[in-house]
Structure 1
Amino acid sequence: MASATPPQGSRRTELATPEFRRATNEVSSTLCRRSEEHGAVWRLNLGGRTQQEGESRPSAQAPAGHRLIAQKVARTYRTVEHAAACVLAGTPHWELEAGVLSVIYHLMADQKARGKRPAPERRGAVRQEEREIMTDRWKEDMTRAQFGRRNLDAIGPVLDQWLERPHGFLTFRLAQVLTGHGCFGSYLHMIGREESPLCHKCGAADYTVQAVQHTLAVCTSWEE
């Protein structure tokens, strides 16, 4: 029987701690920063070029780089959909993050033109308000996603609590349970790693319908 190979570059559980999530989000934010030279905020265009603030929204096809980062943080397989990986990792799409940076930039630019400088408290309040707006937009995007519905439907209603939780992290095995992409016969059969999609333990034929639910609540091999 073939076994699934862990995602390339996966490490121990400290990669998914809240501190690591915050650090990763900071790195992601730097990829959407403003252009000092042109005095405008530029967003990453998903078609391969930069997009100036005010242009129409690009397509929903995500950059491969962001999807890979989210998968690494969430410790998932590379077959996990982009929207689901982002939610599990707690990192918003770069386009949404760029929107927050855009507002902060224009606030600073406006105050600078008036010969003023906004107080740190003011910047912090605006940033918090914009991040709340960003989260609401993120929730709207989640409702339109076609793939990864298992995770989106589960976390979407409690997204705020999921993002702000000060404890808990995802392990490689927990990520498999949450996504269904892992050491399950049906998944390994789907990607061509095994000849049979049946349960490894009991050989149930209905296992292919809901592999995770079967493993957690139905398979008699796990009763003890």
Structure 2
Amino acid sequence: MANVGGPTAKKRRLLMSVTDSIILYGCEIWADALQKEIYRKVVASVQRRGALMIASAYRTVSEPAVLVIAGVMPIDLRATERKTANSTMEEVGAKEAKARARIQAMQRWQERWMARKHGEVNYYLTQFLTGHGYFCSYLHKMGKVDNATCIYEEFTVDDAYHTFFECTRFDAERRVLEDQIGHLDPDTIVEAMIRSQDVWNKVEVFVRAVLLLKKPELDRHIKG
């Protein structure tokens, strides 16, 4: 599903709700299994893809960030919410049980999002995380350039994913980072940054280096 054009966010969210209903079937029984990260990741990966479509976001946007942008509660909290409501329904009634469970789930979601103790964002990392910046696909959408094609690789769409994970122009910078932290994976890089201050800092250096190289070259291409 294309980020530009196609169904509205409202319609995409409707499709997401159908997917959630399927995923959460019977979760009152198995919700506790999602406390184990290995199981949570399997289910969360499906939800993340749906949230990326709702937000029309690039693949570099992390799971926690895209869920907030899309307004989608993490699947493990949704499962726990349903289990909690089901367990108290007879005692306080269905409506009250659901209301209390939702409040608890929202509190946990906020606590989880605010729990990060390191990692400052800046002008460069914001472009990396959101895909809004010196990328021809974004600039084309804003009416700043004639097309969304990479200025280094013909017939290739230039978005944040391509710039940081694929574009051959920045192979040298990418190799330096991979020598430091291992293979770059767009599905896990932000999670690794959140876990480690050192990884966060190294990725920030890489992102800054790439964009400082790209900006003047892209500016010259636009003017030329």
Greater relative contact order, per chain length (Cα 8 Å cut-off, separation 6+): 1
Give the helix-richer structure, 1 or 2. Answer: 2
